[in-house]
Structure formats: structure tokens, C-alpha cells
Amino acid sequence: MLKYSRQRESIKNFLIGRYDHPTAETIYKNMKMEYPNISLGTVYRNLSLLTSLGEIQKISTGIGPDRFDGNSAPHYHFICKDCGCVMDLKTINLDHINILAAQDFAGEIEGHYAHFYGRCPDCQTRTAKQSQQGDVPVNV
């Protein structure tokens, strides 16, 4: 039986209001403002719970900590190789790749996980500027 909790509601609302796919640590730090003695364990527990309820999404980038998305609608993510930021992509349907992948496979393919990588708009602009200046390394 699921019981209401202020902390869980705040975590969910926080995520709904953000579009940068924060980590559990970031969420924890922000929750501390509202609940000064909230526990990191509480954040993790509620993130897992909300994910299994389908109210938020967990993004495993493969490098570093998992990230969380308050938008539960199906969509794909873009991860910048330079700055590590995670962005939402316009909703597209790629279900046909399940059929392609199933060729000559004896098991049952239910779905896929996918994300895209490259350079985000900001990092692309920055790199272009550096090139004009002669590829001088810059700390940004």
C-alpha cells in the first residue's frame, strides 16, 4: 500500500519543473532547501519508486550517475560528449528497429533502449569560435 509523502511529491514536482535531467545528488541538494534534513536515501528510494510507477524516467548514460526526467512520455535523449549535458529530442518513433533487430534471432524482442550522442548546440558554437581563433585551448 502506497502512502502519501511530502518528500516524494516535492521530488516529482521538482523534476517536472526542470528540463536538464538532474542526478540524484542534484535533486538531493535542491530538496535540502525545502527539507533541510532530508536523507539522500530518501531521494534514491523515491526516485526508484516514481520510476517503477512510470511517473518519471531514469536515464542511464553509461558514464557517471543516472539522471532523471520528470517527463514520463516516451522520447529519446541526446548526451553531449563535451559537456555531458542531457537534452530531450523531439519525439520520434523508432519501433521499427525492433523488427530489424529481430532478424534471425530466436528470442523475443520486446523493446530497446537508445540514446544519441554528439555535440550540443552550445559546445558546437564554442568549438567553432575556437577554430576561428586558431584552435587555442580555452578553459570554459
Partner DNA sequence: CCAATAATAATAACTGTTACTGTTTTAATA
Partner DNA sequence: TATTAAAACAGTAACAGTTATTATTATTGG
Question: Which H or E element spans position 135?
Answer: none
Q: Which does 90 bind (CB under 5 to 8 A by kind): DNA, its own copies, none?
A: its own copies
- Confirm or reject binding of residue 92 to its own copies (CB under 8 A): yes
- Confirm or reject binding of residue 44 to DNA (CB under 7 A): yes
- Confirm or reject binding of residue 112 to its own copies (CB under 8 A): yes
- Confirm or reject binding of residue 104 to its own copies (CB under 8 A): yes
Q: Distance between CA 75 and CA 94 in Å, rounded?
A: 10
The smaller minimum CB distance to DNA, of residues 65 and 121, is found at: 65
Q: Which does 126 bind (CB under 5 to 8 A by kind): DNA, its own copies, none?
A: none
Among 4-12, 70-78, 82-90, 94-102, the segment contacting DNA (CB under 7 A): 4-12
Q: Distance between CA 43 and CA 130 in Å, rounded?
A: 40
Q: Distance between CA 40 and CA 38 in Å, rounded?
A: 7
**CB contact set of 110 (below 8 Å; sequence gap of 6+):** 98
Q: What are the Cα distances from residue 116, in Å, to 9, 16, 54, 72, 132?
A: 30, 22, 22, 18, 28
Q: x/- binding map, residues 6-25, to DNA, per CB under 7 A?
A: xxx--------------xxx
Residues engaged in binding DNA (CB under 7 A): 1-8, 23-25, 35, 37-42, 44-46, 48-49, 64-66
